[in-house]
Each structure stands twice: as structure tokens, then as C-alpha cells.
Structure 1
């Protein structure tokens, strides 16, 4: 009996060690890609892309041109699932709910209109173009709410495949980047004030990095209003996720289900908790900055992990239709900007 135990130990122990080494390899690879992306994001043009978008792009390039060790998969998966969600939780420290409330009803009304219209429009487009329903939902959430973070939050609810998530993130990343560049170029020609321009950028661009970059030409007035409007959209990720979870669960079961059994991404409540902590308690700016920096790199590592799992054949497989839906959805959102600015003036 004792000899058998020794034999099992001799066999199992090297396997465990090998798994741990492979896990560390995957984790280290995503960290290296995230750090490289952070450095590149400091360069003039690439600052518009931002660290998260660069991370997924670099992961995609690495995964399709260089070899990824087979045993590194577990570490890569840990980054793309666990670390990504931890990053979203820490992102809550960016939100001060009091600031959004103090800004008045106009911002929340604009954000609600943006989300309801954009999600409905893209889901209808997806149906018309006959693209995968799960992919449509991811594109809708990414365009309407907050880019990659929204896609990651919605993905487990609709039970999308990893390649669908990666394709959706990539589509939103490219569109948001193009949009930010166009806004910067067109700003001097637009017949609106700096503050209205900020509202326009915050209400229509996909990622926070896009909004920050696009708000710069209008100075502090446009930057502040842009970020406030965008953070309002980020805050609405929580109720939207709950609604999608309820609707999706009901459609699949044919009847309502107990809330404890709903496929809710519970880490979103961690995001709400950190937002509340930041709102209710006076946390030193230096500590908040550390949390946000950690959030940025955890999200970047998660994005790099997603990118490493992207295969070019996935894009070929889904075809041009999802890209067309994402573009049409963004153009549809731009088409209602006069209404959004009118709401801003009225309220």
C-alpha cells in the first residue's frame, strides 16, 4: 500500500509541476503583451487605440504568427476570464455616482436613449442580416454601452463562443478608433459648442479610451462632459445585464426562473460595490490611481488572452455581415445625435 502511494506521488507530482509551469507561461505571456501594449499606447497615434485595444490586436497577431505553447493555455484562459472580470470590478473606482447624479437628468436620459435605441437597432439589423443572435447581442452591447467591457460582461449571459467574443471586441475596437479620429478631424467644422461636442463624443463612441482621445480638441469643457456622459453609459451596464439575463433565461426555458438561477455575471455587482465605495468614502487620489492602473493592466492581460485565442479563420467564418451590422449600428447612432443634443438642451 505504501509503495503504491509513493508510485502515485512520483507520477502525479511532475504532472502538477508541469501544469503550474504551463499556467505561469500563459500568465506571463499575457502580462508581457499588456506591458508592451501600454508602452505603445504612449506613442502619439496609438494613444487613440488605447492599451486594451492594442492588447487584443497584439494577442491576435502573436497567436496567428508565432507559436503558443500548448501547456500555456490554462494561464491564458485565466487571464481572459478571471483577470478580465477582476479588472472590470476595479474599474468601478473610476465612477463617482454623485457626479453623475449632480450632472442632472439630461445625461441619464441621453444615455438611456442611446442604449435603448442602439441595442434595439443592432438586434433588428442582426435579424435582418441573419447573423448569429449571440454575436448580434455582443455587437449591440459593445456599441451601446462601453465597448469591450460590455461585451465581456454580456458574453457569459448569452453563452457566446470565445471566437464570437473576440470578433465582436475587434469590430468595436476598429470602429471606435475610426470614429475617434473622424471626430477630432471634424470638430472645427461642427456648428456646436465645446460642451455639446463632449456630449456627442461621450454618447456615441465605444471605448472610454476613444472618448478621452476625442474630447481633447474641445479642451476641459468637452473632455469633462464627454467623460461624464460615457461613465453614465458604463453605469447602465448593470441594469442592462440584468435585463438581458432575465430575457435570455426566459426565452430558453419558456418561463420565468428564480433570480438565483439566472445567468447573471455576478462580478458586475463587484463593479457596483467599488463604485459605491468610491462615492460614499473619501479615498485618497493616489490609492484610486493605483486601483485604476491595476484595473487597466488586468483588463489588458484579459484582452491579450482573448487575442491569443483569435484565429483569422474565425473572421472568415463569420463573414462580412457582422462587420456591416456593427458599421450600420454606429451610423444609426450618429443619425440620432441631433435628438441627443436637443435632449441635452431641454433638460
Structure 2
């Protein structure tokens, strides 16, 4: 019979890993690299040692699955539907084009490079929605391997580092307005910490706009995860047909990601105004820390050799899609006159 103490060693290890990652990230100028990325890397470095010690296994697996989903649910209490209205319809227009670019372009590039569709989709989610958070949210839905998760996060954060440095310079060169730059950074830069760094490097007003747009963009996780739940089920059914010659229809109740429904409930609660700003902030801190723990646990179950097996193509995939999203976001704003 499995007891709580059987999980304790693995959970404590991920907590220590998350604390170490957050400490390291504070020494990085402008927080160019988030704590989640450091947790992932540290976990992968420790993998050769930890995988030989069975006492950690149950706790690490618990964090990578249960704690991960819980952190996503709690994230809902940091968002509200009113945030969409606060920046007007412009952000939704720009986001619709960038999301189509990320997933449509990601599909085509993935086919061109003959990549695993799950890895390609994770990179597209990280680029189109919100970096590591979107990758982590979609991964359990499509039953992605930990090595795919690690590679997808690596492929998106490298581009983010460049964007934090280049975006403010480009914004000033083009003479963009605070709202225009906030929309650009909020829709084209991936990770939340990178959006904050790029936005406030331009101006305080642009930073505030960028954060609101970024949080609004995060809401797209809900329909995207549901869509990919269905796609994954269809792909699994195709394999089932080949092996078992079955032809049963995919049942929605069997593939629906219920943790995303809870996420939506949390957003609805936040939208009522019952959650104070202080409480929302505290929940955000807890949610982000749990996310860092989860990424650390994913790193602990992934080694560099597994990631390197994917080759250089995913990095090119991430670079191409991220570049397209940046260009599309800028171009759409040029047409709607918000630069």
C-alpha cells in the first residue's frame, strides 16, 4: 500500500530544485531566463544520478502530473474575462492572427521537417500562447513525452532571450506608441517574464499594456487544449484501427481535459471580483512556484541524450515560427493603425 511518505522524497527534491532555480534566475539581468527553464536544466543535469535512486520516483511523477495540473488550475484565479475588454478588441484581432500563424505555420513547418506532431504542436503552443506554461498545459492532454516537453521549452526560450533585447530597440526605431508596443510584445514574445522585461524596457505604460495582453492571450489555452485533446484521440484511434481494426467513434467525455474546465471555473470566480488583488497575487506566486516544481520534475525524468535525439530541426522550427509571429503581429497592427 502506497503512503504519503513514499511521495515525500521526490516532492521535497522538486521543491529544493525550484528554490535553487528561482535563486539563480534572480542573478540574470532583466530576468531574461525564467526560473522554470533553470529548473528544467538542473533537473536534466541531475537525471543520471536521480534515475538510479528509486525512492524519488513516486514523488517526481506526482509533481510532473498532479502538481502540474493544479498549478494550471490556480493560474485561473490570476485572470479575469474583463481583462480582455480592458485593452479593447485590438488585442483579440492581433492574437487571432498570431495564433493562426503559430499553429498553421507550425503544422506546415513540422511536416516539412518530418517532425513528431506532438513536439511540433508543443513548440507552436509555446510560441503562440505563453511559452512554458502553454507547453506544460498541453503536454498531458496529448500524452507528450518528457523529452518532447524539454525540447519544446528549449526551442522557445532561446528566441525569447533574443526578443527581450531586440524588441525595445526595434520599438523605439519604428517609433511605436505605448499601446502599439504593448500589443506587439504581449502577442509576439512567449514567456510571461520575457514579456514583462521587454514591455517595461520600452516604457511603464507599454509594460502594463503588454502584461494585460499576455494574460488575455493565456486564456486561449482553454480552446487550444480542448482542440488538441480531440486531435490526440483521433490519432490514437488511427493507431487502434491499424492494430485492432476497430472503428469506434471518439467520445468527447473520454478526452475532455477536466483540469482545464476547473481552470475556466477559476477564471469565472476571479471575474466576479470576489478575489482581492492581494490574494490573486499570492495565488499567482504559488501557482508559478508549482509550475517551476513541475518543470523541474520533468527535467529529472529527461536526460540530454533523449533531447539530442530530436536533432536541430525543432530549434529551427521554433525560430521560424517565432519569427513569423513577430512579423504577423507587427503587420496586423500596421493595418489597424495601432503602432
TM-score of the aligned structures, taking structure 1 as reference length:
0.88
Give 1:335's match in structure 2, choosing from 314, 327, 331: 327
Give the superposition deviation at 1:203: 0.7
Q: Say which is worse superposed, 120-129 or 175-184, in terms of deviation.
A: 175-184
Residue 305 of structure 2 corresponds to residue 313 of structure 1: yes
Matching residue of 2:241? none
Q: How does 1:18-97 map to 2 (within 5 A)?
A: 21-45=5-29, 47-64=31-48, 69-97=53-81
Q: How does 1:4-19 map to 2 (within 5 A)?
A: none
**For residues 304 and 261 of structure 2, what CA distance do their matches in structure 1 show?**
34
In 2 relative to 1, CA 193–46 (structure 1 residues): closer, same or farther, beyond 3 Å? Answer: closer
Matching residue of 2:262? 270
Answer yes or no: is the 8 Å Cα contact 2:43–2:296 preserved in 1.
yes
Give 1:214's match in structure 2, choosing from 184, 192, 198: 198
Matching residue of 2:242? none
Matching residue of 1:134? 118
Answer yes or no: is the 8 Å Cα contact 1:141–1:147 preserved in 2.
yes
Q: Say which is worse superposed, 207-216 or 241-250, in terms of deviation.
A: 241-250
In 2 relative to 1, CA 346–199 (structure 1 residues): closer, same or farther, beyond 3 Å? Answer: closer
Residue 286 of structure 2 corresponds to residue 302 of structure 1: no
In 2 relative to 1, CA 163–221 (structure 1 residues): closer, same or farther, beyond 3 Å? Answer: same
- Write the deviation string for residues 140-176 of structure 1: whole angstroms up to 9, x where unpaired: 1111111112112222332221211221122222222
Give 1:284's match in structure 2, choosing from 267, 276, 279: 276
Give the superposition deviation at 1:127: 0.2
Give unmatched runs, 5+ long, in structure 2: 239-247
Give unmatched runs, 5+ long, in structure 1: 1-11
Give 2:180's match in structure 1, choosing from 196, 208, 218: 196
In 2 relative to 1, CA 58–190 (structure 1 residues): closer, same or farther, beyond 3 Å? Answer: farther
- Write the deviation string for residues 216-240 of structure 1: whole angstroms up to 9, x where unpaired: 1222221122112212221111111
Matching residue of 2:139? 155
Matching residue of 2:224? 240
**For residues 47 and 92 of structure 1, what CA distance do their matches in structure 2 show?**
24
**Count of matched residue pairs:** 330
- Write the deviation string for residues 73-105 of structure 1: whole angstroms up to 9, x where unpaired: 111111111111111111112212112123221
**Bigger CA radius of gyration:** 1
Matching residue of 1:257? 250
**For residues 64 and 332 of structure 1, what CA distance do their matches in structure 2 show?**
37
Matching residue of 1:7? none
